[in-house]
Amino acid sequence: MTWNWQQADWPRFRYNIETLSPLENRFLRQSGELYGAVKHLALNEKQVLTIDLISDEALKTAEIEGEYLNRDSLQSSIRRQFGLQTDHRRVSAAEQGHAEMMVNLYETCGSPLTHDILFAWHEDLTRGRRDLVEVGGYRTHSEPMQVVSGSIHEPVIHFEAPPSNRVKQEMDAFIRWFNASAPDGNTPLPALARAGTAHLYFVSIHPFEDGNGRIGRAIAEKALAQCLGQPTLIALAFAIEHAGKAYYSALERASRDNEITAWLLFFAETVMEAASRTVSRIDFLIAKAKFYDRFRGAFNERQAKVVSRMFQEGPDGFAGGLSAEKYISISRTSRATATRDLAELLSMQAMSKTGQLKGTRYYLNLDRKPDETY
């Protein structure tokens, strides 16, 4: 197998500009709608939105790599990074590191990319790790850097990156290309083409022992933000996780050739889905703020705990709605008390319900209509 970096035209990526142009235009329109929605939020609502989106993206980008973080701890650390009030809870090294990396990405998205920025991100993402030789530096081991699946006896090699002794020169070239292709660079590229190429280019080099996927996604978001002139807040990791195997298959195919039109089309559609999800997320967070304004002080401790847990599920909510059994489990109360609590939530129109008896399911009333039955 000959990989992209082994070919004579590496890293001169090629793609069909005309094929991608409609998606570039659609992305700019979609981004305008997103920022138009944010513009009408109050300052405190923008802060809540920013923290929620950044923390959700940090959670999902870690989850893609098999690392699971605590959402509340992560949010607490992000608030601390922004200089906002926190609950002073203890935060693990991994959660603190992810928070610092994501806030740095948000606050410095317009700055040129450097080796030091990448090293700092790697240190953040691997904070607390003791199994890596190089933390905050490019890999130096002599073994091949491979992406492998299957058993140890019959491994399937999906990709092999350049050897470690080539990484520094490859990353020098990558950083020169990234900064030159920025809107104020010598050879600017459109947003989606630049972000998709940057992601593929970086993960093809695979310069770190671990964390390449997360940093590659951060680089793509930085590229999009620079082209838009402000942080994207696009839920790219959510969209990539939703794409699942299709994302990795597209990436594997793209790693075999430097004609990357198919990859950029796939990446562009993924970004579109991410932007749409972010708009939905904004609508959900606005509805959440209005919900809490409407019912401020109305819930008892059990009800407040369950409502908060339902909001944590995001716009999609609990699959199939909240059951009485799930209410009992979350609130740790008796069935009789749960029945009274749920009846009160229906009475105050904080929730609506569907079904009967054991099939009854409850939903937060985020979009109350005058003629709806409760």
pLDDT at 19: 95
Instruction: List Cα–Cα distances, 107 to 54, 81, 131, 135, in angstroms.
Output: 12, 11, 30, 23
pLDDT at 352: 93
Q: Record the tokens describing residue 229, joined without a space.
A: 């002139």
Distance CA 129, CA 310 (A): 33
pLDDT at 374: 33
* Domains in the chain: boundaries: 4-285, 300-364
pLDDT at 371: 39
Q: Are 288 and 282 in contact (CB under 8 A)?
A: no
| Fold observed for domain 300-364 | Arc Repressor Mutant, subunit A (1.10.10)
Query: What are the pLDDT tens digits along the chain (374 aa)?
Result: 789 999 999 999 999 999 999 999 999 998 888 888 777 777 877 887 788 888 888 888 888 888 888 888 888 898 888 888 777 778 889 999 999 999 999 999 999 999 999 999 999 999 988 888 899 999 999 998 998 887 777 788 899 999 999 999 999 999 999 999 999 999 999 999 999 999 999 999 999 999 999 999 999 999 999 999 988 877 788 888 888 889 999 999 999 999 999 999 999 999 999 888 888 877 887 888 889 999 999 999 999 999 999 988 877 777 789 999 999 999 999 999 999 999 999 999 999 999 999 899 999 998 654 333 33
pLDDT at 351: 94
* pTM (predicted TM-score): 0.82
Instruction: List Cα–Cα distances, 208 to 1, 143, 219, in angstroms.
Output: 23, 13, 14
Is 1.10.3290.10 the CATH classification of the domain at 4-285?
yes
What are the CB-based long-range contacts (under 8 Å, 24+) for 180-189?
182/112, 182/223, 182/226, 182/227, 183/226, 183/227, 183/229
Q: Are 54 and 102 in contact (CB under 8 A)?
A: yes
Cβ-proximal residues to 297 (8 Å cutoff; 6+ apart), any chain:
none
**DSSP assignment, residue 125?**
H
The label of the residue with tokens 């999800």 reads 277
Q: How would you label 251-268 residue by residue, b for 16+ Cβ within 10 Å and e otherwise?
A: beebbebbebbebbbbbb
